[in-house]
Amino acid sequence: MTPLVHFDEVCVEYDAGREKTLALQPTTLEVAKGDFIALVGPSGCGKSTILKLASELLAPTAGHIFFAGRELGAEPVRVGMAFQSASLLPWLSIRDNVMLPLKIVPPFREHYRAKRKGEYRDRVDALLAQVGLLDFADKNPWQLSGGMQQRANLCRALVHDPDLLLLDEPFGALDQFTREELWSTLQDLWMARGSTVLLVTHDLREAAFLANRICVMSARPGRIIEDRQVTTPRPRQISQTFRPEFVSIVEQLRELIVHAPAAPQIPEAAQ
């Protein structure tokens, strides 16, 4: 079956004038529709670079990226994104923050004026209810805790049913208990919506709890050195992450990352 996203021998070299940084060695990755993939690896190995490629913020230096069998860029791909900082607009209510993609992203924006008061508002409120935020819909972001802001941020990333949900350390700034709550929220949203997710994280327990596949990357210039399935049935419980079989997955990932040699550099002439 054609993968939803296919990175085919993709290479990235950042070129800042005289200084060039090879961030990604030829990397191949196939993402099926509905996959939940976690990208883990040492700092600077190119995890965020993969998200930038998937969101078309960055073009590969070499290789190709396909979406549903066609070269990325041939057709618009709807992407939802969330980062470590929730970056909600402080002057808008939570409801209006979550509504934003429906105002901006085609084809929703064409119907925005007609549907805002009815259908779109119901859609936003249903999502807010699903993550326990409906009572806070009229509040401004600064009236919510960091964890609540990240819940709203996830809603904003999902409200327009993106083809791809790209998450770059979305829970990195939260305390452990709030983070675990948000893992369960994200798992529930993913199970309900069947989204296709690429998650960058440094937290191996988070990767193992949330993902179906964990792609481990080598130190920069990065490449995928292990593509590991996590078959634990859903819904997963936080308490399971303290059980021996789960702890063992996390330990194996950690060993891989700590001991993985940096990928051999490709000689410039061969690039």
Find out whether 50 and 27 touch, Cβ atoms under 8 Å.
yes
CB atoms within 10 A of CB 19: 7
3-state SS, residue 114: helix
What is the edge-to-edge ordering of all strands in the sheet holding 70-71?
Answer: 19-31, 5-16, 62-67, 70-71
Distance of alpha carbon 100 from alpha carbon 255, whole angstroms: 42
DSSP calls for 10-70: EEEEEEETTEEEEEEEEEEEEE-TT-EEEEE-STTSSHHHHHHHHTTSS--SEEEEEETTE
Q: Which is nearer to ligand ATP, 45 or 157 (CB)?
A: 45
Give the binding site for ligand ATP (CB under 6 A). Answer: 14, 16, 21, 23, 43-49, 220
Q: Which is nearer to ligand ATP, 48 or 212 (CB)?
A: 48
Q: Which is nearer to ligand ATP, 182 or 257 (CB)?
A: 257
Torsion-angle region of 132 (φ positive above 0: left; ψ -120 to 50: alpha; else: beta) = left
Number of residues in the chain: 271
Q: Which is nearer to ligand ATP, 134 or 262 (CB)?
A: 262
Q: Which is nearer to ligand ATP, 47 or 160 (CB)?
A: 47
Apex CA 200: angle with CA 196 and CA 202, to 5°?
Answer: 145
Which is it for the CA torsion 64, 69, 75, 80, positive or negative?
Answer: negative
Q: Which is nearer to ligand ATP, 94 or 260 (CB)?
A: 260
CB of 255 to ligand ATP, least distance (A): 18
Pull the structure tokens for residue 243.
Answer: 């059980």
User: For residue 126, what are the β-bridge partners?
Assistant: none
CB of 47 to ligand ATP, least distance (A): 4
CB of 89 to ligand ATP, least distance (A): 25
CB of 55 to ligand ATP, least distance (A): 13
Distance of alpha carbon 267 from alpha carbon 73, whole angstroms: 30
Q: Which is nearer to ligand ATP, 43 or 239 (CB)?
A: 43
